[in-house]
A and B are shown apart, each in its own frame.
Chain A
């Protein structure tokens, strides 16, 4: 069965620290990959996505992620976090073929990031 695993459930960092959140998926075919963020009291927002092409993708607010196909991974990174990055981060995957149920997003459990000022 398809699944997404986020390794870190809770992360606490100080401002200016570097961030890397792990995401691995299990699926044998080609996939589309997403990171969403949910700031306190707000709805899910798209941070970045990968469909094809350059495996290093850049998103909003200085975030980037690298797709490593051989490792089935799509880790999220930011060189220097800010207090305003405090949020819940979700990795999600969908198989990239147009067929019935395959358009659904499969989600990780999320990583709660707290950035101390």
Chain B
């Protein structure tokens, strides 16, 4: 069973630039969720993709966008980077089945984004 992987591990960008972060979900999972974790904070929900469609979004501006591909991997895109976007970006995958009481999210190692 392959776990959740993310790339790149670290990234340095300057204000105004655009960035794409990638996530490969765990084998057999159909859902990917993205979170932003600032230093000393708990993760904040950005959005979730289920079967290639956005399935919920947190309080993040439209310059945060995403995609999920047919193999259930996912991308997070951030346009017009701001200094406050510096954080650890976490991807989590899970299996959502209709009628389930809930799903369990398994996390990747994260991408550390620094915006200068």
Contacts and interface: CB of A to CB of B under 8 A. Distances in A.
Interface of A: 4, 32, 34, 36, 42-46, 49, 51-52, 90, 92, 94, 96, 98, 100-110
A106 to B, nearest CB: 7
B55 A105 contact: no
Contact of A52 (B41, B42, B101): B101
Contacts of B90: 43-44
Given A94-B102, A104-B56, 12 more contacts: A43-B108, A43-B110, A44-B43, A45-B107, A90-B42, A92-B42, A103-B55, A105-B33, A105-B105, A108-B42, A110-B41, A110-B42
Give the interface centre of B42, B50, B99, B108 by most chain A CB atoms within 10 Å: B42
Contacts of A42: 109
Given A51-B101, A104-B45, A105-B45, A46 B33 contact: no
B42 A46 contact: no
Given A109-B41, A109-B42, A103 B96 contact: yes
Interface of B: 31, 33, 35, 40-45, 48, 50, 55-58, 90, 92, 96, 98-110
Top 8 A-B residue pairs of the complex, sorted by shortest distance between their CB atoms = A107-B42, A101-B56, A32-B102, A104-B45, A44-B107, A43-B109, A51-B101, A100-B56
A45 B108 CA distance: 9
Contacts of A43: 90, 107-110
B33 A103 contact: yes
A106 B45 contact: yes
Contacts of A108: 42
B104 A49 contact: yes
A112 B58 CA distance: 26
B29 to A, nearest CB: 13
Give the interface centre of B43, B44, B102, B105 by most chain A CB atoms within 10 Å: B102
